[in-house]
Chains A and B, each alone.
Chain A
């Protein structure tokens, strides 16, 4: 019942915070969020699962009971963790706690509602990574959208309404496509009467669907694969479905950006791994391998080029997230242990690094009230510690060795280079890798303009050192980034353990 406890603490905490006085809401929410963070760390250390959750793996902290019965179909409350979801749950709880602390400075109205919503997001995010029944999972998946919509729409920047609606509608329409496709698949499978993901996976790998509404089984599987891929592609986001992301990030308040880039994007890649690349047999995936690899490379390079053209610090980081997610897609489609394992590692790593970057940009914004590269220079003169962390985070983003980003990227490149199922894998890898040059270009350019050079600020504010509670969460993240860079096996071992069954059953493209 550990997972239920995690979710319950966050949910109850959300309600408690919601009715608490504004004055104490931030501290209260932080105190509450420490409970799931601590619990999940304990779960991480006590983790005893093995194998993949969908492929008869030994689940950790699993629980199951029947929830709803209609006709011959039943919906169960089925949750549990394997080596893929465990690190993501820890990422979620830690990042939520830190995001709450990083809100103390910028959020100064309707605090209790704000922090309540953050805890509500946290509860649902844990649910997304832990749920193994489609309906339960989908409820959490959709429930994440609402608080995020409100965070952007209420506490966001000047164009917050546009950004919030765009975010909500775009990802919701995508979810609808994915939902319809999955239901069609389950009906098409015929003898499956539950929506439990392991059952669906077993049925898919043992013969697949018979057909639905007159569509043949093989065609149905392919159609559903494409529809679900598109549905998740918006969430990731993959080019060309990415345009909601920069708008959402620019308008979102810092902590919302931290969670958005840090965890919400990983929902997309996580779902791609869980559904598209685990459930579907090799024959279904095969025709799409080259297009997906191409789209991954395009996401990397095109995203990086877009980042190069930006002058808003948040847009730079937002577009570079698009680029980084391209690496993840490349790793997934490589279908090797290092490729898929590295992609999963990169989800965690990018969560930490992009979280750090958004926090650092936020701290500078708190002081200067601008994020435009052209509006400032020489910030290192006034905020040496915050800038130092920003520089460290930027190098983390560039994949500096001994920081987690390097391990993620290197394993993806290595896993993709020799991928036997991916034709021209060397070419794809070489092209995608060029992202590491462009990322250095736009981040170093931005650093040169904003934090170095003679001190200058267009806006009329006194810039002083950031308070400790702005700095501390960034130190925690930096510490984790270096820890995972030096000792990646801390999570890579459990990740590969959960990845291996995918490659064995569906694998060898």
Chain B
């Protein structure tokens, strides 16, 4: 059973920081977008940070984006999350870069084809 105040309000991602929405919910174009959204919410719910702190970082990331017509909300979302976590000294970006590199070297069924 849901209650009248159970959704939306606390998230307060409105205005410039509102995620792409359809059908009243955030639209994830790829599974990883759902994962980062879920990570941010889960960390917030565990009081690792306050949602307002995250929102400030997200606003800054979006504000720094000067690209036109190629708006990538969840790229900013991921960046804002890593910036905040590093600022809180919960992990180092070097560590993330290292792990990312390691993962990207994994053999995979598909080739990168940009």
Q: Do A and B come from one complex?
A: no
B residues with a Cβ closer than 8 A to A are: none
A residues with a Cβ closer than 8 A to B are: none
